[in-house]
Amino acid sequence: MNFSQTIIRWYNKNKRDLPWRHTNDPYKIWLSEIILQQTRVQQGLPYYETFVKKFPTVHHLAKAKEDVVMKTWQGLGYYSRARNLHHSAKFISKELKGIFPKEFDEIKKLKGIGEYTAGAIASFAFNKPHPVVDGNVFRVIARYFAITTQIDSTEGKKEFTRKAELLLDKKIPGIFNQAIMEFGAMQCVPQNPDCEKCPLKKSCKALAKSMVSSLPIKSKKNKIQTRYFNYFVIRRNGKILIKKRIENDIWKNLYDFPMIETKKEILPPLSRLLSEPLHRMELVGSDASLIERLGGVSIISVSKSFKHILSHQVIFARFWEVAESEHKKFIVNGTEINDGVYISESQLNKFPFPRLIEKYFDAKASKN
């Protein structure tokens, strides 16, 4: 039995029962593939089910309001995936009359779809002979053939894609692609794979050369950026001020609070953050629990620092609770930061927030 036959046989015996494996509907396969980018199956599964229920067809997704799509995506991270999904759904619904493109090159033109996802949709939904090379496939191929080329180099990407093309079972490309991905996810796992149980153990070169734990090889290490966010949680008449993030930055189109980003951590008192003479400041004390009055604006409290880790960034956020006695422009360092909407706490669940803001609300709720 050759590599492909062995992998497919293993897949038929061991595959997980996942809902997107019971459909040929390209819309649902597309949804699942976008959700599963950078996301583990266990985390992505409930999101897939909610999306399919809320937006059963591409027309439903296209017609949905952006806030509703972002809210449904909340907690999954990499929010550009949701924005691109929505954008492409509108395009398919309107320009393509709801008919999903069948050809790899046409699929790849959709926003948010690269080589990998186009190959997955073309092969899973339309049985087109395109290889898919995700992290799992890189690992299986690198180990099975003991390839030491860096998987994130241009040369590596070409070499591994060529190998995957050669291995591809052209009669059943969809099944083969799913099989090799599942094999990497379940059997040839990143740490300590159980090679003794592996059906490929007799021909696996990495196993023969004791190279399993050192493959695949990656060149780049993620450069981690540290950022400091100073949020102003402004309350007036029982309502809270939120604003939409519209900059090309993390969490675009999600909501948070007016915020100043600083190059280092700023500890209370507020005088360190605010510049004179925009506010007359009467500093009562430097302790976070003390009240600092700024005309009609009072700092009620300052939170502890919340640490939030993303793939390329670590964010330290502090929440400055502000009460406004009257409608007042809140100006910091010459910029008006009062650019949002006041909502009641009961409306919070209608708006999509990043996980960091949810953590803050959770911490508040557990204190009350």
Q: Give the single-character DSSP code of 282.
A: B
Give the range of 17-25, 147-155, 196-204, 258-266 binding ligand SF4 by CB under 6 A.
196-204
If binding is defined by CB under 6 A, does position 187 make contact with ligand SF4? Answer: yes
Q: Quick count: other Cβ atoms within 10 Å of Cβ 94? A: 11
Q: How far is the CB of 143 from ligand SF4 (least distance, A)?
A: 4
Both tokens assigned to 330: 């809140």
Q: State the Rg of the chain over Cα.
A: 25
Q: How far is the CB of 216 from ligand SF4 (least distance, A)?
A: 11
Q: Which is nearer to ligand SF4, 208 or 283 (CB)?
A: 208
* Nearest by Cα to 145 from 73, 200, 227: 200
Q: How far is the CB of 156 from ligand SF4 (least distance, A)?
A: 18
Q: How far is the CB of 190 from ligand SF4 (least distance, A)?
A: 10
Phi and psi at residue 242, to the nearest 5°: -125, 160
Q: Is 364 exposed, middle or buried (CB count within 10 Å of its CB: 0-12, 13-18, 19+)?
A: middle
If binding is defined by CB under 6 A, does position 193 make contact with ligand SF4? Answer: yes
Specify the amino acid at residue 305. S
Give the range of 55-63, 188-196, 240-248, 324-332 binding ligand SF4 by CB under 6 A.
188-196
Q: Is 192 exposed, middle or buried (CB count within 10 Å of its CB: 0-12, 13-18, 19+)?
A: exposed
If binding is defined by CB under 6 A, does position 188 make contact with ligand SF4? Answer: yes
Q: Which is nearer to ligand SF4, 167 or 270 (CB)?
A: 167
Phi and psi at residue 290, to the nearest 5°: -85, 155
Q: How far is the CB of 195 from ligand SF4 (least distance, A)?
A: 3
Residues 199-238 vs ligand SF4: string with x where CB under 6 A?
Answer: -xx--x-xx----x--------------------------
How many residues interact with ligand SF4 (rule CB under 6 A)?
13
Site for ligand SF4 in 101-160 (CB under 6 A): 143-144
For residue 159, indicate whether it is catalytic. Answer: no
Bridge-based pairing of strands 297-302 and 292-294 is antiparallel
Element (DSSP H or E) covering residue 308: strand 306-309
Give the range of 155-163, 195-203, 230-238, 265-273 binding ligand SF4 by CB under 6 A.
195-203
If binding is defined by CB under 6 A, does position 62 make contact with ligand SF4? Answer: no
Strand partners, 323: 235, 298
Both tokens assigned to 311: 């793939």
Helices (H) and strands (E) in the chain, counts: 13, 11
Q: Quick count: other Cβ atoms within 10 Å of Cβ 30? A: 27
Catalytic residues: 33
**Which residues are at the interface with ligand SF4 (CB under 6 A)?**
143-144, 187-188, 193, 195, 198, 200-201, 204, 206-207, 212
